[in-house]
Amino acid sequence: MAASLAGSWFLLDQISTLKGNQIILETKISEQNESIKQYLAKQEQLSASLGTLEAEKQNALREVNKLRKTTGAGMMDCKNALVEADGNFDSAIEILRKKGQKVAAKRADRESSEGVAISVTNSKNTSGVGVVLACETDFVGKNADFIDLAHKIAIIGLKCDSKESLLKENLEEMSVEEKLIEQTGVIGEKIQINDFVRIDAAYVGTYIHAGNKISSLVGFSDKSENIETAGKDIAMQIAAMNPIALDESSVDSNVIEKEIEIAKDQLRAEGKPEQMLDKIAEGKLKRFFKDNTLINQVFIKDSKLNVSQYLSTYGSNLSITSYHRVSIG
């Protein structure tokens, strides 16, 4: 009996111990589950924060890229401008513009002898302009973005009759003049328009020489058949041969007097009699006109013709009304 009671008490004690252990275990499990819930909640919160940071990062990159496309400035310049502007896009543009003004002021005395010479016409080829956009180095002058800027300015120039009016025209939410200052800051070189010319005629032909260093425009009295070919050919002639005037009557009288004096001095040096100088100098002057006036020059594509004779193949009444040649340097 005593042994039976002792066994029962032992079993009761074991059961009590097991129940106590079970309670402890359940408590531990509950605590672990709560810890897991808290951990998962923190992970979810962290993931949300990382998602927010990534979204902010992507938005910041979009703003930097947008500013780069708008201004042409480098990535770090755009990033720093946006940071300085506390993310305000318009303020960042203004910061970059002010930077351009500072650079422009520092480089005002620099020589802009490189760049591009561009000529364009309107859709009807009745108006054309030539623009020289200058910079300091050939490296910048060959840059695709710089050449594209020159084309944009030239197209805007079709609405203008002078360089002064062109500088006041709008380009990408600022004036052309402000754009040049902005790009001076972006590129780090003095950027300016060195030349601007315009022609209005029944037909305007253009030519841009390889490398964008020389371009030319020529106006015609009429729009005859195949005038496009004549326009390009004669514009090429102008670019290649650089005539000083359209014809003899267009040559400045001072230039004529100077050429006569040069001819006479050469003849005297050769020992020619004084009474013969006028006649010989007259012959030399005719040669000067042939070499230096557009319609009298030998046509570069056919040495058997002069420009006037070549032009007559497109119509006896067709004539050149005006021309311009713009170049770097």
Domain boundaries, the chain: 114-251+293-327
114-121: strand order across its sheet:
114-121, 127-135, 192-200
Per-residue confidence (pLDDT) for residue 62, from 0 to 100: 77
Q: Which residue has the higher pLDDT, 37 or 261?
A: 261
Q: Are 54 and 40 in contact (CB under 8 A)?
A: no
Per-residue confidence (pLDDT) for residue 72, from 0 to 100: 64
Q: Looking at the domain covering 114-251+293-327, what would its CATH class be?
A: alpha beta
Angle between helices 176-187 and 89-106 (to 10 degrees): 80
With a pLDDT cut of 70, the percent of the chain lying above it is: 83
Work out the average pLDDT over 65-69: 71
Q: Which residue has the higher pLDDT, 196 or 4?
A: 196
- The 10s digit of each residue's pLDDT in 181-199 is 888 888 888 899 999 999 9
Work out the average pLDDT over 56-83: 71
Nearest to 232 by CA among 248, 209, 199, 213: 209
With a pLDDT cut of 90, the percent of the chain lying above it is: 49
Alpha carbon separation from 314 to 110, 220, 223, 318 (Å, rounded): 47, 11, 10, 7
Per-residue confidence (pLDDT) for residue 154, from 0 to 100: 97
The chain-wide mean pLDDT, for the chain, equals 85
Nearest to 116 by CA among 238, 218, 214: 214
- The 10s digit of each residue's pLDDT in 104-122 is 566 666 778 899 999 999 9
- The 10s digit of each residue's pLDDT in 28-59 is 777 777 777 777 677 777 666 666 666 666 77
